[in-house]
Amino acid sequence: MIASLILPLLLQSATPPVPEWNCDDPIAQQEMNQCAARDFEVADERLNAQWKETAAVMKARDADFAASGGGEYDTREGYFESLLEAQRGWLRYRDAHCRVDGYTARGGSLEPLFSATCKARLTRLRTDELRELIATQ
């Protein structure tokens, strides 16, 4: 009987309230880390949306190239296959590079901020690159 009364209180105290972070003017380190993580999430969502658009264009270019008979003499990787290879390499680069960037404060409270800020910056740059691929070709 007592356990049934205490258990809800223990569960309630074990779950801290979710604070409202002020990303316009973060003050506390934890708040800065959380805001940087959110900034990266937004950049990553935009990258994923741009990836879908760019991948679709590259697949269409592959289809056009095949339909024109271009593949008869040119057996190199196609547009999409090359794009996919580049994206996989870029993701490995971004994650490793930003891990090193975070190591500037390795083990400290600034490490997540440095890492997330780096990932957001590089992700925005990559989104622009993907957009340019379909605008310039």
Quickly state the pLDDT bin for 7 (edges 50, 70, 90): very low
In this predicted structure, the answer to whether residue 9 has a pLDDT above a threshold of 60 is no
Question: Buried b vs exposed e over 52-86: b needs ≥16 C-beta within 10 Å?
Answer: eebbebbeebbeeeeeeeeeeeeeeebbbeebeee
Q: What is the pLDDT of residue 1?
A: 46
Quickly state the pLDDT bin for 8 (edges 50, 70, 90): very low
Round to whole Å and give the CA distance between 126 and 95: 13
In this predicted structure, the answer to whether residue 32 has a pLDDT above a threshold of 90 is yes
In this predicted structure, the answer to whether residue 30 has a pLDDT above a threshold of 70 is yes
More confident residue, 99 or 28: 99
Output phi, psi for 106, to 5 deg: -50, 125
* 119 and 38 Cβ atoms separated by less than 8 Å: no
Q: For all residues of the chain together, what is the average pLDDT?
A: 87
Round to whole Å and give the CA distance between 42 and 58: 24
In this predicted structure, the answer to whether residue 82 has a pLDDT above a threshold of 90 is yes
More confident residue, 74 or 110: 110
In this predicted structure, the answer to whether residue 137 has a pLDDT above a threshold of 50 is yes
Q: Which domains does the chain have, with CATH numbers?
A: 29-68+78-136 (1.20.1270.180)
Round to whole Å and give the CA distance between 10 and 33: 28
3-state SS class at 76: coil
Query: Minimum mean pLDDT among 57-61, 73-77, 81-85: which range?
Result: 73-77
* 51 and 87 Cβ atoms separated by less than 8 Å: yes
Round to whole Å and give the CA distance between 131 and 53: 8
